[in-house]
Chains A and B, each alone.
Chain A
Amino acid sequence: MSLLADLLAGKLLDPGYAEAAARRARRPDAPGGPLRRGRRGGGVLLVLVLTGTLIAVAGAEVRRSEPVAAERRSRLIDEIDARTAETDALRRRLDRLRAETERQRAAALARGDAGHGVRSRLARAAAAAAAAPATGEGLVVTLDDSPRDDPDGLAARGGARGRVYDRDLQVLVNGLWAAGAEAIGVNGQRLTATTAIRSAGEAILVDYRPLTRPYEVTALGDPGRLRDAFTGSAADRRLRALEERYRIRYGTRGAPDVRLPAAGPVRLRYAVPREEDGQ
Chain B
Amino acid sequence: MIALIGLLIGVALGLLLQPDVPLWLQPYLPIAIVAALDAMFGGLRARLEGVFDEKVFVVSFVGNAVIAALIVFLGDQLGVGSQLSTGVVVVLGIRIFANVAGIRRRVFGA
Contact = CB atoms under 8 A, between A and B. Distances in A.
Interface of A: 3, 7, 13-14, 16-18, 20-21, 24, 39-41, 43-61
Given A20-B51, A44-B43, A60-B18, A52 B13 contact: yes
B73 interface: no
A39 B53 CA distance: 12
Among A13, A46, A60: residue with most chain B CB under 10 A: A13
Interface in B37-88: 37, 39-40, 42-43, 46, 49-61
Nearest to B4: A48
A187 to B, nearest CB: 42
A47 B95 contact: no
A52 B58 contact: no
A103 to B, nearest CB: 61
B53 A24 contact: yes
Contacts of B94: 3, 7
B7 A51 contact: yes
B9 A49 contact: yes
B10 A52 contact: yes
Contacts, number: 127
A41 B2 contact: yes
B56 A43 contact: no
20 contacts: A3-B94, A7-B98, A14-B42, A14-B95, A21-B51, A41-B54, A46-B58, A47-B58, A48-B7, A50-B61, A51-B10, A52-B9, A54-B29, A54-B33, A55-B14, A56-B10, A57-B14, A58-B33, A60-B14, A61-B29
Interface SS, A side? helix
B89 to A, nearest CB: 14
Contacts of A14: 42, 46, 60, 95, 99
A14 B63 CA distance: 12
A78 to B, nearest CB: 26
The 4 closest A-B pairs by CB, nearest first: A52-B10, A56-B14, A48-B6, A21-B51
Contacts of B30: 58
B83 to A, nearest CB: 17
A17 B42 contact: yes
Contacts of A16: 53, 56, 59-60
B46 A3 contact: no
A130 B51 CA distance: 89
Contact of B46 (A7, A17, A60): A17
Given A51-B37, A51-B61, A57-B14, 16 more contacts: A13-B99, A17-B51, A17-B53, A18-B51, A40-B54, A41-B54, A43-B55, A47-B58, A47-B61, A48-B10, A52-B8, A52-B11, A53-B13, A54-B32, A54-B33, A56-B11
B109 interface: no
